[in-house]
Amino acid sequence: MQTIIITGGSRGIGASTARLCASKGMAVILTYNSNPQSADAVVARIEAGGGRAVALKLDVADTASFPAFRDDVSKALAAWGRADFDGLVNNAGFGLFNPIATVTEQEFDGLFAVHLKGPFFLTQTLLPLMADGAHIVNVASATSRVATAGVAPYASFKGGLEVLTRYMAKEFGDRGIRANSVAPGPIRTDLGGGLNDEFEALLASQTALGRVGEPDDVGGAIASLLSDDSRWINAQSIEIAGGYII
């Protein structure tokens, strides 16, 4: 059974990805940071549908905790009769709006830790458990293509994550490991405090398909990327945005 790890699987895009991967027959290790109840609810929903899932605690900003997390992953895999896993979705994240003129160093460092440093060292830490032929999906953002005032550090680190993705593909290719990034446009989640009606109407008007995205619009695409049907897609950044500002 294909087994994948999704960071930030307790809510939003990660929770959707977990459910839709499970519906394709994948076993899912999802992580939460501050919302164990939400993570448990995702696990319960997957199990109710006959799938296999477990939730583990992980703070992606806390690199010192990664070796212990790898041990937790090993134990979860062992319970399923596995010693390795087949896919990693670096999805966990948060947003904040502040123009460059007023961004604090603390805000900058916090965004860097979660959106670039965390995925880098988490992937490095989990590499020994990654099966040959596995697939990495890094969740980037359309804000790296379209400059959206107020999210400069976030968008810059997401852009860095896209570059890192190509390097992962280059350096892990000899093990048959693929790496791609997906760049969602505006999606209806709690990120950055969520969307108000006025902002949503503006974003919908800027999108060719005339609405903002739903978590399942992205979760379904990630689940497809993780499947064998996408085995020749590698080192790409794929925007999942319904045609946002084209």
CB 88 within 8 A of CB 130: yes
CB 169 within 8 A of CB 178: yes
244 assigned to active site: no
- The site map against ligand NAP for 70-109 (x = CB under 6 A) is ---------------------xxxx---------------
Residues 197-236 that bind ligand NAP (CB under 6 A): none
Per rule CB under 6 A, count of chain residues that contact ligand NAP: 29
Binder of ligand NAP out of 26, 59, 111, 152 (CB under 6 A): 59
CA distance 7 to 125: 14
C-alpha distance from residue 34 to each of 38, 141, 191, 223 (Å): 9, 23, 14, 24
Shortest Å, Cβ 193 to ligand NAP: 9
Nearer Cβ to ligand NAP (12/51): 12
Decide: is 141 part of the binding site for ligand NAP (CB under 6 A): yes
C-alpha distance from residue 230 to each of 81, 156, 175, 214, 242 (Å): 26, 28, 17, 22, 20
Binder of ligand NAP out of 2, 3, 4, 8 (CB under 6 A): 8
Element (H, E) at 54: strand 53-57
Shortest Å, Cβ 206 to ligand NAP: 13
Q: DSSP characters for 208-231?
A: TTSS-B-HHHHHHHHHHHHSGGGT
C-alpha distance from residue 28 to each of 58, 133, 186, 210 (Å): 15, 17, 25, 33
Shortest Å, Cβ 176 to ligand NAP: 26
Decide: is 58 part of the binding site for ligand NAP (CB under 6 A): yes
Residues forming the site for ligand NAP (CB under 6 A): 7-8, 10-14, 32-35, 38, 58-61, 91-94, 114, 139, 141, 184, 186-187, 189-191
Instruction: Show which residues are catalytic.
Output: 154
